[in-house]
Amino acid sequence: MLLVPLANVQAQLQQFAAAKESAHAALEYLDQFDRPAAIAPAKWPAVQAELRASDYFVLGRVAAAQALHATGLEKKQKLFRAETFLSQARALNGQDAEIAYLLGLTELSLGKHKQAAFYFARAGRMPGPLQAKALETLRRIYDSSIRQPTVSFEGFSASVEQEGELKAAPVTPIISISTQARDGDYAGSHACQPCHAAIYDSWQKTGMGRMLRAYRPENVMGDFRVNNQFSDETGAVVARMSITRDKHYVAVRDRAGEWRIYPVDYTIGSKWQQAYATRLPTGDVHVFPVQYSTIKRQWVNYWKVIDPPGSPRAVVTSFNQLSTTTSYQINCAPCHTSQLRAMRPNPSSGHDFEFRESGINCEMCHGPTQNHVLAMTSGRHYDKGARQTPVDFRNLTARVYVAICGQCHAQSALHQSGPQGEMNYTTKGASFFPAPLSQPYSDVSRRAFYKDGRFRETTFIVEAFRRTACFRKGQAHCGHCHQPHGPDSSSNLTSLKFSNDQDRMCVQCHSKFATNTSAHTHHPASADASRCVTCHMPRIMNSVLFRARTHQMDDIPSAEMTARFGPEESPNACLLCHSEKDTQWVKLKLHGW
């Protein structure tokens, strides 16, 4: 919300480009984020409307100011733009004298004297510093337009107001991610296989395709035979993994010291770690607290790693309570299963949910395909718009592309049920995915951020990317660097588009750095230090047991921030390699860059 007053100040200082950027960003955030917890639900609609009105006012003010220095067609276009923005502002806040007054000036500049008089009359009724100016300008319009002496100024003012409120321009959101109609129903990923066999085969080998799988012995990655025990911080064994008659089991000790044995009914994940879940007779699926790290080759207490101190589910011996905190359907399913639906309002347990398909299927990204499948299998041409389903990602804007990925890869995304209980999809006649609102960052645990403001946790990877100039100005999207179902999906765990030449992902846009690399990096061209990601995407994001690369990739190492907050709260890419150096050394080096 600080962007709103910032945009106002920038406009007052005639920093028009910065003001426009701040105002557009603020409108985008208002579209994206849910109500901050500090604001009461009943007050939020009015607060949100006032914030939007302020942003539209800034955009109108900038356009009107720029029109003063333009001529001809350019001047008229800027005035029309100002009129549109200011009308949107007034539709949201009709009691703001400054909006009404500036809108009056804009209409007057366009030669629309009648409309201008209306707004000046309204501004003239509002006490404040602009009241006298509004009435003075209204009188000039009166003097130049009234030819009948019997019509008084007061009568003229009343008559223009009596004609009623002028219709404001419709308020159009900055981002539109609707892919409307003819979407039909969901056919399931198996329906895609006959025509898209190669892609289907690659998808099955991806992390998305293997996100949640019904138990099969060959899918288990954890060590259930040798290194198959987990001890808590006291050294007491609290979990044992075993194989009996070719079936995998997890035994968990309860607080009374008794052991309870559960079958493994699902595997979750297939890359760096794997979790396991058991299904109760009620249909509830519960995730075991211990997971297996393929990197460390050891069992870890996942909840203890990611939860804040004091988390009840982080105590392994509490698992046998089978509370909602370990429920797969409640905590994990929106991003690990496809077409999840709550079968009743206010669901309170796992068996209150159902899903069409485990893992992330084709339709979670491309939308429902039933109409497309029926047309193709019957030999009919399927004519659709560029953004109708099944979506062709080549036709999407960067914002829509990233929003689709952000359904799961944005930690702040809020998954709320639709009118029929839809959690991560919508039914016919609407957008194929709900584009969920995000939790305001002010309500997110401070543990998620470094003190310098960057994201600490890798689950905020989309939020970090959205901050970059690559995304905001360069229109970069996830697909520029990642291939979600490439031919090497089983071995390319990060789904990189150019896994054997990672600099290529950057120089496809920043081509001037493709040659004479060392002149830019100040390191030998063949050294790891000359790779783009080493400096601009350092490994500073927590990913359970390893550090992942930040996706706020236009960061330049800041010696000032590191000196202020320390390397633990403002990690510096230079010092990650040159650990024997200090921030003063970094400052001197960067000064001569």
Residue 592's pLDDT is: 78
Extract the runs of DSSP E, i.e. beta strands, from 264-325: 266-268, 273-279, 285-287, 290-293, 298-301
Alpha helix segments (H runs only) across 312-451:
328-331, 333-336, 362-366, 370-377, 398-409
Amino acid at residue number 411: Q
Residues in the chain: 593
User: Taking Cα atoms as reference points, which of 266, 269, 292 lies closest to residue 277?
Assistant: 266
Residue 167's pLDDT is: 46
Residue 181's pLDDT is: 34
Residue 184's pLDDT is: 53
Token pair in block for residue 392? 């062709």
- Taking the C-alpha atoms of residue 556 and residue 553, their distance in angstroms, rounded to an integer, is 8
- In the sheet that 237-244 helps form, which strands lie side by side, from edge to edge? 229-231, 237-244, 247-253, 259-263
156: DSSP letter: H
Answer for the pair 414, 406: CB distance below 8 angstroms, yes or no: no
**Which domains, and CATH codes, for the chain?**
2-167 (1.25.40.10), 212-335 (no CATH), 441-555 (no CATH)
pLDDT, one tens digit for every residue, the chain (593 residues): 789 999 999 999 999 999 999 999 999 889 889 999 999 999 999 999 999 999 999 999 999 999 999 999 999 999 999 999 999 999 999 999 999 999 999 999 999 998 999 999 999 989 999 999 999 999 898 888 766 667 888 888 888 887 755 444 444 443 333 333 333 588 999 999 999 999 999 999 999 999 999 999 999 999 999 999 999 999 999 999 999 999 999 999 999 999 999 999 999 999 899 999 999 999 999 999 999 999 999 999 998 988 888 899 999 999 999 999 999 999 999 999 999 998 888 888 888 899 989 999 999 999 888 889 999 999 888 888 767 788 899 989 999 899 999 989 999 988 877 777 888 887 654 456 556 788 998 888 888 999 999 999 999 999 999 999 999 999 999 999 999 998 888 888 889 999 889 899 999 999 999 988 999 999 999 999 999 999 999 999 998 788 999 999 876 888 999 999 999 999 999 999 999 999 999 999 888 77
Dihedral angle sign, alpha carbons of residues 124, 130, 135, 139: negative
- Taking the C-alpha atoms of residue 36 and residue 38, their distance in angstroms, rounded to an integer, is 5
Residue 88 φ/ψ, nearest 5 degrees: -65, -40
- Taking the C-alpha atoms of residue 406 and residue 437, their distance in angstroms, rounded to an integer, is 11
Answer for the pair 447, 456: CB distance below 8 angstroms, yes or no: yes
Residues 6+ apart with CB under 8 A from 34: 414, 437, 438, 439, 440
Bond before 390 cis per omega within 30 degrees: yes
- Taking the C-alpha atoms of residue 295 and residue 273, their distance in angstroms, rounded to an integer, is 8
